[in-house]
Chain A
Amino acid sequence: MQLDSKKHKGIASALSLITAGLFAATGAQAQINDDPVTTSPQPASSSVQSGTDFNDDTYTDEGLIRVDAAILVYQEDGGRVQAIEPVVGITYNFEDDSSLSLKFTADILTGASPYGATPWQDTQTLFNPPSTGASGSTGAVSTSDVPPDVLPLATGFSDQRYSVDAAYKTPWGESNTLSVSAGISRETDYKSFYGNVGYAHEFNQKNTTLSLSANVEYDISSPRGGHPTPLSISDGTTFNLENDHKTIFGGLIGISQIMNRRWLAQLNYNVSTSSGYQTDPYRIISVVDPVTGGPVRYLNEARPRSRLRQSVYFGNKIALWDTVTDLSARVYRDDWGVNSLTLKLATRVPVTNRFYVKPGVRYYAQSQADFFNYYLLDGQVTPQFASPDARLDKFSAVTGSLMAGYKTSRTGEIYARITRYEPTGKTSTANAPGYLSGRDLFSGTASTSMIVGYTYAFK
């Protein structure tokens, strides 16, 4: 352990103060007898604490109860989605190194999100999904007029989501850890139930850890008004009032390895299959005239009912001087045709004994799903699947973040992080018909978010 040489620690001066205090209390003049004491004199705690350096803390949470609270405020550009998400968690760490944790999350969302239709030079009249808005009577159908020359957005959307997670972890034998977790998330039109079991084995003098885990998830989609038939015309009538659902099974295998005194590396392989309803029940796709690019009709989108996803993640923690750097890369592909690359870099830089900053940058690029399209052409055969959702588009995104943290006590920290996400669509529209030719049809949007949190542990 190296103390930082740039800052005068003041340990010697703090020590001389407390030594003076000790001998004042038990000074030569004082009678040394074995009477019990009622109070003991102490120097002002502020002068002692100034010497404490929290940057090299190695204490563990064993035996402590840790509480975490954080709130996220997320705002997309252009009046799109805004979210406020408070999270609170509590973890009981027992003396035998097992732990139980609970987490509560709320998500309050408002704002506007794209219909999926392409813009047009005239006003378009689009049917609202039945569950948009705070309360809607079943069967009532409403339309909205979207102005010309802008991406059609469904405004006035508002929803709340609540979720509870619980997790338990326990050591098993000398070098194994078992963990199990489960959670429930619900919002007005969606419920999700999920669980996970994990096993980790340390060997090679605890330099290497092998991790295995399996997870399952069962989601129920229940939009008010029901699910539209895939690729049916969007005319305010929907079929299939029953709920639909999807089931996900996933597995992870990973190795974590201490490479040298300053470098920890981790390699994970993750696979998951989902089967069931994976379409967005609110999204429509424009069928446009092949000459003018104007909308002819709108169809409800359709996605396949199965998806196989795989990813490989390589992450590193590197300590250099008194900084700690996170460097990671993830490669992902699925059988919808999406391939992506994620690169992340962040460095924690201590500024004073208690205060640090952590700037970070993230680069992301993904390819299009096979069935992604901004629009369909009238007259051509309707494909089996089609979606204009920006999440399935080809785009790249750069995120810049700056985090700062202040250690309020040995076990407590207050932190804040501000992030800016900027995506850039990469699908060429040079050959788009008429009005749409050369227009940027990418419907993803930049966003700014800030999270402020506090963590504290006590006995």
Chain B
Amino acid sequence: MTKAVLGFQVWRKNMMIKTDIQIHAFRAMASPCELRVECNDPKTVWQLGAIVEAEAKRIEAKYSRYRDDSILSQINAAKGAPVEVDRETAGLLDYAAHCYALSAGQFDITSGILRRVWRFDGSDHVPNERDIERLLPLIGWDKIIWEAPYLTLKKGMEIDFGGLGKEYAVDRALLLVQEATQRPALVNFGGDLRVSGPLRGEKPWQITLQSVDNHNKRDGVLAVTQGALATSGDAQRFLLKDGVRYSHILDPRTGWPVHNPPRSITVSAATCMEAGILSTLAMLQGEGAEEFLSTEKLRAWFIR
């Protein structure tokens, strides 16, 4: 059983699992998605795969920012009027509210509008301060009125489940798979993954992570028997200006990237949502990421 070891060099995820396992792959949420099941029967795999794919697409249809007909887009188009939300959305909003409180405002689902000025395309287009100052009054979960089932956003504010959506989908998909079968299964949406348990014979899933840079070819293998992994990192999304690399981890309180975060943090936790939030929170500590991971006694791996 791997213990929590900080400073253990990490490698970004790319799945390469060595045992004989069947895969159902598809594309959703702008990522390569898959279900891996230790199973001999292709029909069962196809059925389970269909469940996972349907759940991924259902959540995407409901919460995608890119779809005008999603519940999320309807909420964001309300122009200050209260919106009545369903139970699932209410649960996610409560969750986001708790995360906001726990993180003293660093985890904030209203901060998505910063993407209007921050485009992490590898260029040097760092926004100027005034652009950010104009957005700050429209950011802040404390400015929202959330009294279940009614959500009221101030005009101009938006919410965005980007920090929660994929991880929630992984957890939900895996729960549905567990309902349908006892076989060992792994759900992986774009690198955020969760396993239902060890492979047959108590063998762990072998998960190989790849380096963030192209230069570093070392691979690392994690042996996972339970729980989830999620990664925060800047591999593809960053800005580079005057030799300073601006990570895409923005602090919603200031509108600017956090100070000196690690390049990548992978956290292991019981559920994918926890792993995702904890890795995001760790990144938001910037310089203090290692300390945060240590204080919280997390199993995590990072690259500086």
What separation, in Å, do the CA atoms of A410 and B287 have in the docked complex?
Answer: 25
Q: Which residues on B sit within 8 Å (CB–CB) of A57?
A: 104-105
A33–B87 Cα distance when bound, in Å, is 8
A219 to chain B: closest CB distance in Å? 42
**For residue B273, which residue of chain A has the nearest CB?**
A19
Q: A9–B94 Cα gap in the complex (Å)?
A: 21
Q: Is the interface of A mostly helix, strand, loop or mixed?
A: loop
Instruction: Indicate whether B137 reaches chain A with its CB closer than 8 angstroms.
Output: yes
Instruction: Please give the distance in Å from A48's CB to the nearest CB on chain B.
Output: 5
- Is there an interface contact between B148 and A16, defined as CB atoms closer than 8 Å? no
| B235 interfacial contact with A, CB 8 Å | no
Interface membership of chain B positions 232-251, coded 1 if the CB is closer than 8 angstroms to chain A and 0 otherwise: 00000000000000000001
Verify if B229 is at the interface (C-beta below 8 Å from A). no
Residues of A within 8 A of B94 (CB): 18, 22, 40, 42
The answer to whether B102 and A52 touch across the interface, beta carbons within 8 angstroms, is yes
Q: Which of B88, B176, B251 contacts A1 (CB 8 A)?
A: B251
A105–B58 Cα gap in the complex (Å)?
61
Q: Contacts A62-B137, A174-B130 hold; do A19 and B291 have CB atoms under 8 A apart?
A: no
Smallest beta-carbon distance A140→chain B, Å? 62
Q: Please name the 6 residue pairs, one residue from A and one from B, whose CB atoms are nearest each other, closest first.
A: A37-B87, A28-B175, A2-B288, A34-B86, A12-B296, A40-B90
Q: Does A11 contact B (CB under 8 A)?
A: yes
> Within the complex, which residue of A7, A11, A37, A52 is in contact with B86, where a contact is CB–CB below 8 Å?
A37
Distance (whole angstroms) from the CB of B89 to the closest CB of chain A = 8
Q: Is B295 an interface residue (CB 8 A)?
A: yes
Report the minimal beta-carbon distance from A94 to chain B, rounded to whole angstroms.
Answer: 11
What separation, in Å, do the CA atoms of A431 and B294 have in the docked complex? 70
User: Is B66 in contact with chain A by the CB < 8 A criterion?
Assistant: no
Known: A15-B102, A22-B273. Contact between A1 and B295, CB under 8 A?
Answer: no
Contacts of B296 in A (CB 8 A): 8-12
In the complex, what residue of chain B is closest to A64 when comparing beta carbons?
B142
B91-A1 in contact (CB<8A): no
In chain B between 120 and 163, which residues have their CB closer than 8 angstroms to a CB of chain A?
129-130, 137, 140, 142-143, 148-149
- State in angstroms the CA–CA spacing of A28 and B176 once bound together: 6
Report how far A18 CA is from B129 CA in the complex, Å: 36
- Assuming A27-B175, A30-B87, what are 10 further A-B pairs, CB within 8 angstroms? A5-B295, A15-B99, A19-B271, A36-B87, A37-B85, A38-B149, A40-B148, A40-B149, A59-B140, A410-B101
The answer, yes or no, to whether B47 is at the interface (CB within 8 Å) is: no
CA distance in complex: A32, B179 (Å): 15
- Contact B295 A9, beta carbon cutoff 8 Å: yes
Chain A residues whose CB sits within 8 angstroms of the CB of B142 once the complex forms: 59, 410
Q: Are A40 and B270 in contact (CB under 8 A)?
A: no
15 A-B pairs with C-beta separation under 8 A: A1-B284, A7-B295, A8-B295, A11-B278, A11-B281, A12-B297, A16-B274, A18-B98, A26-B87, A32-B58, A34-B86, A38-B149, A59-B140, A63-B143, A95-B137
A95 to B157, CA, bound (A): 14
Whose C-beta in chain B lies nearest to the C-beta of A95?
B137
Shortest CB distance B92–A (Å): 7
With A12-B269, A95-B137 as contacts: A26 and B285 at CB distance below 8 Å = no
Residue B52 interfacial (CB < 8 Å): no
Return chain B residues, CB-CB under 8 Å to A7. Answer: 295
A-B contact count (CB 8 A): 141
| Residues of chain B within 8 A of A25, CB atoms compared | 87, 91
CB of B188 closer than 8 Å to a CB of A: no
Q: A11 CA to B129 CA in the complex, in Å?
A: 32
* Cβ of B286 under 8 Å from chain A: yes
Question: B98 touching A52 by the CB < 8 A rule?
Answer: no
Smallest CB separation, A170 vs chain B (Å)? 15
Report the interface size class on chain B.
35 or more
Contact call B103/A11, Cβ cutoff below 8 A: yes
- Whether A11 contacts B102 by the Cβ 8 Å rule is yes
Residues of chain A with a CB closer than 8 A to B67's CB: none
Given that A5-B294, A33-B86 are known contacts, is A28 also in contact with B269, CB under 8 Å in the complex?
no
Residues of B171-191 contacting chain A, CB below 8 A: 171-172, 175-176, 178-179
Task: Specify which chain B residues have a CB less than 8 angstroms from the CB of A203 in the assembled complex.
Answer: none
User: Nearest-CB distance from B270 to chain A (Å)?
Assistant: 6
Q: Is A137 an interface residue (CB 8 A)?
A: no
Given contacts A15-B274, A40-B87, A59-B105, contact A48 B98 (CB under 8 A): yes
B118 to chain A, nearest CB (A): 18
Q: Is the CB of B148 within 8 A of A19?
A: no
Residues on the B chain within 8 Å of A205, using CB? 129
Q: Which residues of B contact A34 (CB under 8 A)?
A: 71, 86, 88
CA distance A36 to B84 in the complex (A): 7
Closest to A49 in B: B101
Residue among B71, B86, B287 facing the most chain A CB atoms (10 A cut-off):
B86
Encoded as 1 (CB less than 8 Å from any A CB) or 0, chain B from 260 to 290 comes to: 0000000001110110011001001111100
A46 contacts B by Cβ under 8 Å: no
Contact A58 B105 (CB under 8 A): yes
B253 touches A (CB below 8 Å): yes
Taking CB atoms, residues of chain A closer than 8 Å to B95 are 18-19, 22
The residue among B71, B98, B251, B292 with the most chain A CB atoms within 10 A of its own CB is B98
CA distance A174 to B134 in the complex (A): 10
Please give, as numbers and ranges, the residues of chain A lying within 8 Å of B285 by CB-CB distance: 1-3
Quick check: is A269 within 8 A (CB to CB) of the other chain? no
Interface string of B49-68 (1 = CB under 8 A from A): 00000000010000000000
- Is the beta-carbon distance between A36 and B85 smaller than 8 angstroms? yes
Q: Which of A320-338 contact B (CB under 8 A)?
A: none
> Which chain B residues border A30 with CB–CB below 8 Å?
87
Is the pair B102, A22 in contact by a Cβ cutoff of 8 Å?
no
B101 adjacent to A52 (CB under 8 Å): yes
Q: Are A12 and B298 in contact (CB under 8 A)?
A: yes
Tell me the complex Cα distance, A11–B282, Å.
11
Known contacts being A28-B178, A58-B253, is A1 close to B106, with CB within 8 Å?
yes
Is A89 an interface position by the 8 A CB rule?
Answer: no
CA A120 – CA B253 in complex, angstroms? 67
Residues on the B chain within 8 Å of A48, using CB: 98, 101-102
| A37 x B148 contact (CB < 8 A) | yes
Task: Verify B287–A52 contact, CB threshold 8 A.
Answer: no
B88 and A54 form a contact (CB under 8 A): no
What's the nearest-Cβ distance from chain A to residue B300, in Å? 11
CB of A240 within 8 A of chain B? no
CA distance A38 to B85 in the complex (A): 10
Complex CA gap A14/B90 in Å reads 19
Give the residue name and chain of the A residue nearest to B254 (CB). A58
Considering the chains assembled together, what is the distance between the CA atoms of A23 and B87 in angstroms?
A: 12
Given A12-B269, A22-B91, A36-B149, residue A3 in contact with residue B86 (CB < 8 A): no
| Given known contacts A2-B285, A3-B292, A48-B98, A37 and B90 CB-to-CB distance under 8 angstroms | yes
CA distance A19 to B281 in the complex (A): 15
Bound-state CA distance A29–B175 (Å) is 9
- How long is the Cα–Cα vector from A32 to B284 in the complex, in angstroms? 33
